[in-house]
Amino acid sequence: MDTSSLLRIQNLHAGYGDVPVLWDIFLKVDRRKIIGLLGGNGAGKTTLLNVISGIISPMKGRVHFLEEDITFSNPTRRVQMGITQIPEGRLLFYGLTVKQNLRLGAFTRKDKASLEKGLDAIFQLFPRLAERKDQLAGTLSGGEQQMCAIGRGLMSRPKLLLIDELSWGLAPLVVDHIMVALKKVYEEMELSMILVEQDVQLGLEFSHRAYVLETGRIVKEGRSEDIIKDPDIRKSYLGI
Amino acid sequence: MKKRKSFFWTRGTIIFSCCLILISFPTFVNSQEAKVRIGAAVSMTGRLAKEGSLVKKGYETWTEWVNGRGGINVGGKLHKVEMIYYDDKADATTSAKLTEKLITEDKVNLILGPYSSGIAAATSAIGEKYGYVTIAPVANGDFVYERGFKYLFSVLSMATQDLVPVAELAVKQIPKPKTFAAVVLDHVFTLPAIDGVKKKSLESGLQEVYYGKFPVNTSDFSGILTTIKGKDPDLLYFGGFFPDAVSFYRQAKELNVNAKLYTTTGTAGHPDWLSVMKKDGEYVLAQVPWHQDMPYKGPFFTSASFNDFWKKKYGEEADYFSACGFVSGILMQLAIEKAGSLDQTKIRDVLRAIDVETFFGKFKFDEKGKNIAHRMGIIQVQSGKQVLIDPPQPGAKILYPAPSWKER
Amino acid sequence: MVKVSRKGWLLIGGGFCLFLLLAPFLLRGYWIRLLTNMFMFGILAESVNIIAGYCGYLALGNMLFFGLGAYIVAVLMTKFAFSFALALIIAGLGASLFSAIVGLPILRLKGQYFIMATMALMELLRAITNNIPITGGGQGITLPIFPGGAAAANFFFYYFMFGLMVFAILCTFYISKSRLGYAFRAIRFDEDAASVMGINPTPYKTIAWAISAFFTGLTGGTYAYWMSYIDPGEAYQIMPSIKMYLMMVLGGRGTVLGPITGAFFIEFISELVWGKFLELHFLILGLILVLVVIFTPKGFMDLLRRGLSFSKLMAGVKENRV
Amino acid sequence: MLGQVLVNGLLQGGFYACIGVSFSIVFGIMKIINLAQGTQVILGAYITYAASHLLGLDPFFTLPLSIIGLFILGYMIQKYLINLVAKGGLIITSLLTFGLNLILINIALLIWKADFRGTNPWYMGMSFEVAGVTIPYVRLLIFVIAILFTIVLELFFRKTETGNSIRATALNPKAAQLMGIDIGKTYCLTFAISSALGGAMGTLFILAKPISPFTGGDFLIILFSVAILGGLGSIPGALLAGIVLGMVESFSTMFFGIAFQNVVLNLVFILILIFLPTGFMGKRFYG
Amino acid sequence: MLILEGHGLTKNFGGLTAVHKVDFEIQEGEIFGLIGPNGAGKTTLLNLINGIFPITQGEMFFLGQRLNGLKPHQITRLGIGRAFQIVRAFEGMTVKENVLVGSLFGTKKRKDIGTGMKETEKILDFVGLGPKKDYMIPEITIADRKRLELARALVMDPKLLLLDEVMAGLNTREVEDLMEMIFKVNRQGVTILVIEHVMKAVMGISHRIMVLHYGRKIALGSPKEIAENEEVIKCYLGERFVRKEAERKGHSRAK
């Protein structure tokens, strides 16, 4: 049971309006695995995450989560089932406090009683947030905002966490800190992740398996340690 | 599921376009019979919707009544009356457009005017342009008639005369009032009446302690009332639309602002006044163009018999707006029958020379088209009734001074 | 799928123009008045388009210049015996000047604050008009009647409004192709970026508003003479302002002919509905507006450009749906 | 005298504030200028009228009816109409409400005709005096209820989870969606709350002034002024703005005469806009 | 020769100090890098240079002319062009029209539309957007938008070019293309001030780099000096970066 697949995407085509952005995507996420989704700008990584989150409905193809067909389920249902996205650019609720932001992360959770416990766990993970829990999210620094976004995502107790551009606009040092915390999250909570990254090296170091997207198609997939050794990848993405 | 939805939308669009095509089809008028076509653009929506629709009811009732008698006798032949109505939204542009439509498109023979003076000022210019007789049932702003128009006739006396009888009545009362306060909506509809009674009051030796104009949409009068309370006037003249008068007197009661006599422009004679104000509307005076207790006799009705006719038909007392509408029709009928033709100039000349009494009152026009024979009646609300007190009636007496709000 | 070629459009447009030119000889008084009315709203929508469509400043109270123009003409003609032509020119320039003066502080405001300031300005002007004796206050002003009978008046105002509308269209067309147009549009889409690209927004915004005010003022002045009576409640209204936006948006914001198309459409439809449904016209007009807004949120011009088809309509709906 | 003017302004201001709040939350949260809001207020008033005449209820006790009635109506309107164009931007949504306004007016006209309707319960016009200042019961009650609603609403937005989810949707719709908040439903709820508040204000309004289907248009300027001055979406801001407007109105009547009330009011308003363009508390809401 | 100098520049927003007493001098012809964590005040500093925010304290000179109190459009016409971090193209206009606006208004010389159009097309060809000149903004990719930002700045014929994170969101190949282009512009005699998070890019192109931290200048020097500066590593770069950099260097040495 533990090794059965969590998310299965078959033959997916999707896009905005009439314009397709993704073609023929097959993707599988197993339990307790970190998947890297890599590729250049405009490759369709964010679109794919949005399809998984239910913000965009696909033109063709099927999406299964926990063996249930969720192709046309709405975002709310998906969050309830355990798919949570930490969006690119954080998208915090800047006019609300850190604590309110975190609480909203648990919006779909029915067991409100254990909510405080969840909050404590987040504050333990990111002590910086605990210090600033009553501050407005807009006044946090970039790194703290990213922590808050991750915390907010974790509050829904996801089974699958989608993280879009974790390193976006962050100093290298801060990226390191957050990566450490994320590793801890992965180890402590039983979840899978899809990690979308521009920084291919970072993405590959951190994931078990990886998919490489180019202009809307998957051009390479495999174990991360294999991909990182792939000469094509090294040449076009790592600049080595 | 998806398919059915789009099917729904397709059908919707088709139905929608059919509707569009349908409404764009012209109406064909059957013109076999000899007919007098009369057009009226009245306010059925907008600020004056209530008043406008009452006037329209008057027109409708007249049409039905006159057709019931066979129609209007034009040169020995009976013509049925056909009325064409449009809604002018209480908007001058629309009203002007519709008047032009009535004349050039619907080819009406005569025009009954719109409800208010501001609009009449715009539409009468069009009637004048085409040489069409326009009878204005309620528009009596003096300025409308000061432009030298030759085809425009007012059913009522001029607005500046509206409340003059109130001042005349007041000075006759004991103890004699000494001071008055006037509050008026800054609008063509109300200014002349209050300015007229103000002038008359000053002439009669009363002293003005307060005069204030308030803008449209004022809902809070407590500021004015607080000031007035300090001046303690004997007479209170208020001019405004219906809702204004209601909130003014309600707040007067709230702030306990008392006077010996309260006046409104028309509002207290409005059919809705009693139902909205109940006992707080008592003792208030207003001018009415017509009242069933008036002593007039006419070719078809007397004042009282018109009210009976109305009551039988609708089960309620006749209101003065409808009476204005009705009498406009009668006036037109008399003019046509006397002229023996539908020629505008002939009808105009007849109206010019007319001197007649109807259930509504007397009609005699000066060279500007003002009705100089009409005199407003004054009512006072007494025990839930609008009682006519001027012209003097047997058994009707002005209640003066009005008790203070607290003593009622 | 209905798609008309460029040549087709030119033919339709040319035919329509020819029809408009000859209309007074073909149609009766009412239709002429209706068309004159359409032209009037066409000019108003086009002038709103200049400030709101091109420059991005939603001057919801733009009717204030209409009232101002109307009152300038009315006062000059009745109290100072000016000729209509002279009074009208003063009205146009006066409205422009006024917009420039109040524009300096007000055009610094953004978005809803600007919207609200223009509305308040209109209310202010109305209140002032009510309170100064020369305007006749709440009593209004009656103007001299156009000399020379019904037909002459119809001809005069028809061609006058038509000419004014053509002038407004040409002016907008020139703007859209000139430096001014580029500056206006740059300001509309991103004022900070525009200023970093060397555009000083203040004079350009002021010019845009002044042009808009000029046309609105001229229209107001013509209207006053046409109707021969105005009062403050008639001259300064909010609802026509909103209607102008409706026309502009339906036709196409920031296009030369869009606002005119929108004005013609709205006026024509309301006229039809008005004529046919005495008791229900608000309801039906409202329904039509709601449907039109839902199905063509980007305006007719956009729809025509992309071609008219059912699937395109539905795509438009889907795009804006939550 | 001065005390009376102060109280007059305050009592009027409370009503302005509450009516402004109902408009402001829709404007602030969904960026919709609801041009039908005035007519929705009038519909609330009609419910009160109908209930007090048919059932003989005291107008104040009809509050729940108008609130529930307008809540349902608001929810429907948002769900079946406005949500269809919700992403179209400020102008599009506002134009939709313009059309909607026409429809609502016509419906009211069909049901209740153009007659003026009013209520007149037995306590109408009664007042008491405190230190020479006359305070009418009805206006005081209107003031208290309006303030109460405003405070309850503010608490709802700040303290409850649903309230926070509405604010979150206002701040960032996409992020809210990712948190599992159903934006469509949130919009419906927001509009329904605004509508219900408007309905409640209608109940209070008909106690002050008679209504006809066309009265709704009169509110437009006040709705706008309060919402903008208070800072869009800010409830305490709207409260303050409403009271300031009431005061300005009251004092300008005293010092300049009521004829100049609108001159002063609009002048003050424009000056505030120029020198304080985020409104009284605009910043607090957006952080 | 100095092209831009700032003395004791300070910017307060209410109580918050975004930039605190920063001094710097930029030599004509150099590429000057500006790095620092988010919220360090980099973009604020750029906004001070081109006048979007007024300077609270301190002075700034461009080719000897004092910039304090000048409006953005005046500063632009002196010869300071800017490409924005978040692409701020005019959305309802085509690519060509976007650049044309800069050509028409961005220089002291008053041009007619024809001349402006010619210059525009030249610049568009230079940045490689020639084939897409009639596209609307939403139709082009992020990388193209970055190019467009560059074109809009270049068309104003600037002496000093401010680039605010133009590399963000580009992939390695695109970053390299853009670096190449920046070199090319620089060789034509344009001084460039560049804010960047992509370390590889900023280290690769800058002659000198200034590091800001919480609004204060903590280091200024050549890329090598910066990369080894301990305070910079502590506050900004972090250990992994140093490790990775070392690995990369080792690798290229091996090659």
Average pLDDT, chain B: 86
Q: Which amino acid is at D216?
A: G
Give residue E255's pLDDT band: very low, low, confident or very high (50, 70, 90): very low
- Which chains sit next to A, with 3 or more Cβ pairs under 8 A? C, D, E
The predicted model gives E16-24 an average pLDDT of 86
Domains of chain C, by residue range, sit at: 35-259
CATH 3.40.50.300 domain locations along chain E: 1-79+162-224
Residue of C nearest to D264 (CA): C124
A236 vs E contacts (CB less than 8 Å): 172-173
Does residue C239 contact residue C91 with C-beta atoms inside 8 Å?
no
CATH 3.40.50.2300 domain locations along chain B: 35-157+293-364, 161-290+377-407
Instruction: Please report the DSSP string for D98-156 in residue order.
Output: HHHHHHHHHHHHHHHTT--B----TTTT-EEEETTEEEEHHHHHHHHHHHHHHHHHHHH
Between C76 and D89, where is the model more confident?
Answer: C76
ipTM score of complex: 0.85
pLDDT beyond 70 at E252: no
CATH of E1-79+162-224, one of 1.25.40.80, 3.40.50.1820, 2.60.40.10, 3.40.50.300: 3.40.50.300
Cβ-based neighbours of B148, under 8 Å, separated by 6 or more: B368
Best residue of E141, E144, E172, E211 to probe chain A, by most A CBs closer than 10 Å: E172
pLDDT beyond 80 at A85: yes
Left if phi > 0, otherwise alpha if psi is -120 to 50, otherwise beta: which for D257? Answer: left
Average pLDDT, chain D: 88
A99: closest CA among A130, A57, A70? A130
At residue C40, the pLDDT reads: 95
pLDDT beyond 90 at B48: no
pLDDT beyond 80 at C305: no
Give residue C55's pLDDT band: very low, low, confident or very high (50, 70, 90): very high
At residue C271, the pLDDT reads: 86
C33 vs B contacts (CB less than 8 Å): 96-97, 100-101
Domains of chain D, by residue range, sit at: 2-220
At residue D262, the pLDDT reads: 85
pLDDT beyond 70 at C4: no
pLDDT beyond 50 at B26: no
Taken as a whole, chain A contains a residue count of 240
**Element (DSSP H or E) covering residue A193:** strand A192-197
pLDDT tens for each residue of E50-97: 888 888 889 999 988 899 889 888 998 899 988 876 667 888 889 999
Interatomic CA distance for residues A152 and A144, integer angstroms: 12
What is the C-alpha end-to-end distance of chain C, expressed in Å?
A: 27
Give residue D83's pLDDT band: very low, low, confident or very high (50, 70, 90): very high
At residue E169, the pLDDT reads: 66
The predicted model gives C244-264 an average pLDDT of 89
The predicted model gives D236-246 an average pLDDT of 90
At residue C313, the pLDDT reads: 73
Strands B72-74 and A19-30: unpaired
The predicted model gives B311-333 an average pLDDT of 91
Q: B215 and D124: CB-CB below 8 Å?
A: no
Most confident of the following: B55-64, B95-104, B136-145: B55-64
Give residue C186's pLDDT band: very low, low, confident or very high (50, 70, 90): very high
Give residue D106's pLDDT band: very low, low, confident or very high (50, 70, 90): very high
The rounded radius of gyration (Å) of the Cα atoms in chain D is 19
Interatomic CA distance for residues C153 and C150, integer angstroms: 5
The predicted model gives B369-396 an average pLDDT of 89
Q: D174 and A87: CB-CB below 8 Å?
A: yes
At residue A102, the pLDDT reads: 92
At residue D125, the pLDDT reads: 81
C319 vs A contacts (CB less than 8 Å): 17
The predicted model gives C208-235 an average pLDDT of 93
Cβ-based neighbours of E241, under 8 Å, separated by 6 or more: A172, A173, A176, E199, E233
At residue C310, the pLDDT reads: 74
A95 vs D contacts (CB less than 8 Å): 167, 171, 285-287
Written as six digits, the tokens of C180 are 């001014």
At residue A78, the pLDDT reads: 93
pLDDT tens for each residue of D192-205: 999 999 999 999 99
Interatomic CA distance for residues B226 and D135, integer angstroms: 12
pLDDT beyond 90 at E20: no
Instruction: Please report the DSSP string for C81-107 in residue order.
Output: ---HHHHHHHHHHHHHHHHHHHHHHHT
pLDDT beyond 50 at A237: yes
pLDDT beyond 80 at B353: yes
At residue B233, the pLDDT reads: 93
Proportion of chain A above pLDDT 90, given as a percent: 37
Average pLDDT, chain A: 86
- φ/ψ of B134, rounded to 5, equals -120, 125
At residue B32, the pLDDT reads: 54
User: Under CATH, what is the fold of the domain B35-157+293-364?
Assistant: Rossmann fold (3.40.50)
Give residue B33's pLDDT band: very low, low, confident or very high (50, 70, 90): low
Proportion of chain E above pLDDT 70, given as a percent: 92
C289 vs D contacts (CB less than 8 Å): 95-96, 98-99, 102
pLDDT beyond 50 at B27: no
C315 touches chain A (CB under 8 A): yes
Cα–Cα distances in Å, from A212 out to A165, B202, B368?
15, 95, 91
A76 touches chain D (CB under 8 A): yes
Q: Which amino acid is at B288?
A: V
pLDDT beyond 80 at B305: yes
At residue A15, the pLDDT reads: 83
Closest Cβ–Cβ partner in B242, B256, B278 for D134: B256
Proportion of chain B above pLDDT 70, given as a percent: 92
CATH 3.40.50.2300 assigned to domain B161-290+377-407? The reply is yes
At residue D287, the pLDDT reads: 28
Give residue A239's pLDDT band: very low, low, confident or very high (50, 70, 90): low
The SS3 assignment for A93 reads: coil
Cβ-based neighbours of E90, under 8 Å, separated by 6 or more: C185, C186, C188, C189, C190, C193, C194, E97, E98, E101, E137
pLDDT beyond 80 at B79: yes
pLDDT tens for each residue of B213-260: 888 878 888 888 888 988 899 999 999 988 899 989 988 988 889 999
Q: Nearest CA of chain C to the CA of E48: how many Å?
A: 12
Proportion of chain B above pLDDT 90, given as a percent: 36
At residue B219, the pLDDT reads: 80
At residue B5, the pLDDT reads: 46
Cβ-based neighbours of C154, under 8 Å, separated by 6 or more: C24, C29, C32, C33, C36
Alpha helices in C107-228 (DSSP H): 111-131, 149-177, 179-189, 191-196, 201-227
A93 touches chain D (CB under 8 A): yes
pLDDT tens for each residue of E155-190: 988 999 999 888 776 767 778 888 888 999 999 889
pLDDT tens for each residue of D9-33: 999 898 899 989 999 999 888 888 8
The lowest-confidence range among C281-285, C314-318, D261-265, E27-31 is C314-318
At residue E250, the pLDDT reads: 62
pLDDT beyond 80 at C6: no
Does residue B95 contact residue B23 with C-beta atoms inside 8 Å?
no
Written as six digits, the tokens of A11 are 């033959």
Proportion of chain C above pLDDT 90, given as a percent: 44
Q: Nearest CA of chain C to the CA of E158: how many Å?
A: 11
Average pLDDT, chain C: 88
pLDDT beyond 90 at C224: yes
pLDDT beyond 70 at B22: no
A67 touches chain C (CB under 8 A): no
Interatomic CA distance for residues E196 and A171, integer angstroms: 10
Q: A39 and E171: CB-CB below 8 Å?
A: yes
- Which chains sit next to E, with 3 or more Cβ pairs under 8 A? A, C
pLDDT tens for each residue of D133-185: 888 888 899 999 999 999 999 999 988 889 999 999 988 888 999 999 999 99
Q: Nearest CA of chain D to the CA of A88: how many Å?
A: 10
At residue B299, the pLDDT reads: 87
pLDDT beyond 60 at B63: yes
Closest Cβ–Cβ partner in B27, B91, B103 for C29: B103
Residue B300: DSSP 8-state: S
Residue B365: DSSP 8-state: B
B242 vs D contacts (CB less than 8 Å): 116, 210
Give residue C85's pLDDT band: very low, low, confident or very high (50, 70, 90): very high
Interatomic CA distance for residues E19 and E22, integer angstroms: 7
